Chains A and B, each alone.
Chain A
Amino acid sequence: MSTVATIVLRRPVAAAFVVVAALIPVTVPAVTGAAPACAAATGPHAALVIDTGAGVRSFCVALDATIVSGIHLIELAGAQDHLSYGFGSGGQAVCRLAGVGPQGDDCFSDYPQYWGYWHGDGHGGWTWSSSGAASARVGDGALDGWVWGSGDSGASHPKPPLTVIDDVCVPESTPTATPSPSRATPAAAAPSAGVRSSLAPNSPGPSNPENARAAKPSNEGIGKTSAPAGPPTAGALAAAPGPPPASAGPGPGLLVALVLGVALAGGGWLRIRTSRRGRSSA
């Protein structure tokens, strides 16, 4: 309980969610991973669909401006739903999402595999983004999709599963557990897309959110768990568990580097000093 207490003290905003969620018997990691207020889609929202090839995750992201960039949408998903990400080229390109993709600043070091960028057309389909994520404009109700795969254009790169905005951002007016027809469409389409298994659990047990949650690793940051009354929305399944968050701190190599650097700098300084002394005495 002390963990909850510290969380409450540190983040008063999140405290309300913790208190509400604590009434339901779920573990603390699951609660902390479920802070976002996305299920009730008030204010400007956009959907973010991330297909790692091994699974699909989707996020309903509350926008902090009327128009944001595709990059900022990912940052918001990271802040709201603990999506792990890494950008390259000084924050202009997407290297790594949900633990998939190259580490470091070069986003094409795993080429031909890379993160393809798609925009939802509003009817469940997707179009290949003609601009980079840093300059793409994402507004209320928009859909952004990222797919890990190969192919240099929308013709050859794999597409995200069929999705409409209501699959991800549940309208407030329909707080029912019964899946709507629009949601059933992507669920049915998913198996035909190949290995994408993430949508499958929704089909057999569409009205059982507790089962869906139990099937997931509890410490993965999954956006939808904060909607206890909401339906099991599409794509809430996690991809392969990613590495721990990047803020893990310096590794052991840095210590070695520090020792080496101090030794070199100190050695050089000693050398200069002794040679100066030798010269002045001579």
Chain B
Amino acid sequence: MIDRRAVHPMAWIVWATSAGFVAFVTTDPVYLLLLWAVSWFVYAGHRVDAEHARSFRLFLTGAVVAVALRTALVFFGTVSAANTTFSFLEGLRLGTILVIFGTFNAVTDPFGLVRMAPRHFHEPALAAALALSIAPRTVADVGRVRDAQRMRGIRIQGVRALPALAVPVLERGMEEAHTLAESMDARGHGAGRRSRYRPQPWTGAALLIAVPAIAAAATFLAASVGGWAVLHPQTSPIVWPEADLLLLAAIGLLAVPGLVGRPER
């Protein structure tokens, strides 16, 4: 089904955490928009050819909506160029974190992560993995049901399409959950016996994903604590945001996984 030779899932956790941290400490649109580009680049190089990789598009849409909503909040108060820009940048930060999470979802399989959870945290990890994958799986299911309907010449438009869509999607979800439960039971999950079947090694590719990401996060942490670069550009009056070359290089490090590429199958 899905090529799992790629990399250790922990490498992607490290990457996503680091990239998210970078987005968290700055409201500079230069760095944030570059993170969108980095996410897109990494997604393009590593997306898993499964339906849940479509979640990147889902999160991208969510990010745009988040930016728009956060900016629109200004209209509840006094509107000025300064506070509109401020809100927009705050929204952009939120959107960036969503896009990074979307990339993380598209390049790794949430169930791969469950295997790495310590024994005592197995059940929470399983719940988290299910929760993480429910949205992208539903999106994928909707696509599949629509394809099937189209092939049969059924064309329903608008609101009336909802029940026709929802019933098969929900039914599929139930079926999948059932299959998942059975297959996990068969592999000894939930009984305290942990499968050690095919442990995933830390490959060079995994190190190339994780190590530069840590370096990037450390650089931004140093800038945030040391204060040698402006991470929150002034919005009143609006000035051109600055771009520190060292911090740009750090963001470049986050794009390294995109250069490494995914092993061809």
User: Contact residues of A with B, CB < 8 Å?
Assistant: 78, 85-91, 95-96, 103-106, 109, 246-251, 253-254, 256-257, 260-261, 264-265, 267-269, 271-272
B236 proximity list for chain A (CB < 8 A): 86-88, 90-91
Evaluate contact between B232 and A260: CB separation under 8 angstroms: no
**Given known A-B contacts A105-B27, A269-B44, A91 and B83 have beta carbons under 8 A apart:** yes
Interface residues of B in 207-265 (CB under 8 A from A): 227, 230-237, 239-245, 248, 251-252, 255, 258
Give bound CA distance, A92 to B237, whole Å.
11
Partner of B34, one of A87, A250, A261: A261
Closest-CB distance, B93 to chain A (whole angstroms): 12
Q: Which residues of A contact B30 (CB under 8 A)?
A: 253-254, 257
Q: Are B44 and A104 in contact (CB under 8 A)?
A: no
Contact check, B40 vs A264: say whether CB atoms are below 8 A apart.
yes
Q: How many residues of B contact A (CB 8 A)?
A: 39
Determine the residue in chain B with the shortest Cβ distance to A104: B230
Contacts of A109 in B (CB 8 A): 227
* B33 at the binding interface (Cβ < 8 Å): yes
A86, B258: Cα distance in complex, Å? 39
Point out the residue from A106, A253, A256, A261 that lies within 8 Å of B232, measured CB to CB. Answer: A106
Of B82, B234, B245, the contact of A103 (CB 8 Å cutoff): B234
Chain A residue nearest to B31 in the complex (CB): A257
Roughly how many angstroms separate A226 CA and B90 CA in the complex, as a whole number? 42
Q: Is B149 an interface residue (CB 8 A)?
A: no
Within the complex, what minimum Cβ distance (angstroms) separates B243 from chain A? 3
Roughly how many angstroms separate A254 CA and B243 CA in the complex, as a whole number?
A: 6
Determine the residue in chain A with the shortest Cβ distance to B84: A90
CB neighbours of B244 from chain A (8 A): 253
- Of residues 6 through 56 on chain B, the ones whose CB sits less than 8 Å from some CB of chain A are 27, 30, 33-34, 37-38, 40-45
**B80 contacts A by Cβ under 8 Å:** yes
Residues of B with C-beta under 8 A to A105: 27, 86, 232-235
**Chain A residues near B80 (CB-CB < 8 A):** 91
Residue of A nearest to B44 (CB): A268
Q: Contact at B234–A246, with CB atoms within 8 Å?
A: yes
Cβ of B240 and Cβ of A248 under 8 Å apart? Answer: yes
B258 CB to nearest A CB, Å: 7
A256-B243, A264-B38, A264-B40 are contacts. A90–B248 as well, Cβ < 8 Å? no
Known: A87-B82, A105-B232, A264-B34. 8 other contacts (CB 8 A): A90-B87, A90-B236, A104-B234, A250-B240, A251-B240, A256-B245, A265-B41, A272-B44
Residues of A within 8 A of B239 (CB): 86, 246-247
- B41 partner, pick from A86, A253, A264, beta carbons under 8 A: A264
- Interchain CA distance A87-B82 in the complex, whole Å: 9
Q: Closest CB of chain A to B241's CB: distance in Å?
A: 7
Measured CB to CB, the nearest residue on chain A to B241 is A254
Are the C-beta atoms of A261 and B44 separated by less than 8 Å?
no
Q: Which of B87, B227, B251, B258 is A260 in contact with, Cβ under 8 Å?
A: B251
**11 A-B residue contacts at CB 8 Å?**
A90-B83, A91-B86, A91-B235, A250-B240, A254-B242, A257-B34, A260-B37, A264-B37, A264-B41, A268-B37, A268-B40
The answer to whether A265 touches B40 (Cβ under 8 A) is yes
B33 x A261 contact (CB < 8 A) = yes
Q: Which residue of B lies closest to A89 (CB)?
A: B86
Say how far A23's CB is from chain B's closest CB, in angstroms. Answer: 33
Instruction: Report chain B residues within 8 Å CB of A103.
Output: 230, 234
Nearest residue, chain B, Cβ from A110? B227
Q: Is the CB of A257 within 8 A of B44?
A: no
A247 to B242, CA, bound (A): 12
Check if A271 sits within 8 Å of B235, measured CB to CB. no
Specify which of A88, A246, A265 lies most central, judged by the most chain B CB atoms within 10 Å of its CB: A265
Q: Is the pair B241, A86 in contact by a Cβ cutoff of 8 Å?
A: no
Bound complex: CA A254 to CA B41 (Å): 20
Residues of B within 8 A of A256 (CB): 243, 245, 248
Indicate whether A104 sits within 8 Å of B251 (C-beta atoms), given known contacts A257-B34, A261-B34, A267-B258: no
Taking the closest CB of chain A, its distance from the CB of B198, in whole angstroms, is 26
Contacts A87-B82, A87-B236 given: A251-B242 contact, CB under 8 Å?
yes
Q: How far is the CA of A205 from the CA of B231 in the complex (A)?
A: 47
Contact A104 B232 (CB under 8 A): yes
Q: Which of B129-179 contact A (CB under 8 A)?
A: none
Contact across chains for B235 and A90 when beta carbons are under 8 A apart: yes
CB distance from A70 to the nearest CB of B (A): 13
Q: Which of A95, A253, A268 contacts B45 (CB 8 A)?
A: A268
Give the distance in Å from the alpha carbon of A140 to the alpha carbon of B221 in the complex: 47
- Enumerate chain A residues within 8 angstroms of B45, measured Cβ to Cβ: 268, 271
Q: Could you tell me the distance in whole angstroms from the C-beta of B3 to the nearest C-beta in chain A?
A: 13
Q: Which of A85, A106, A247, A253 has the most CB of B within 10 A?
A: A253
Report the minimum CB–CB distance from B129 to chain A (whole Å): 27
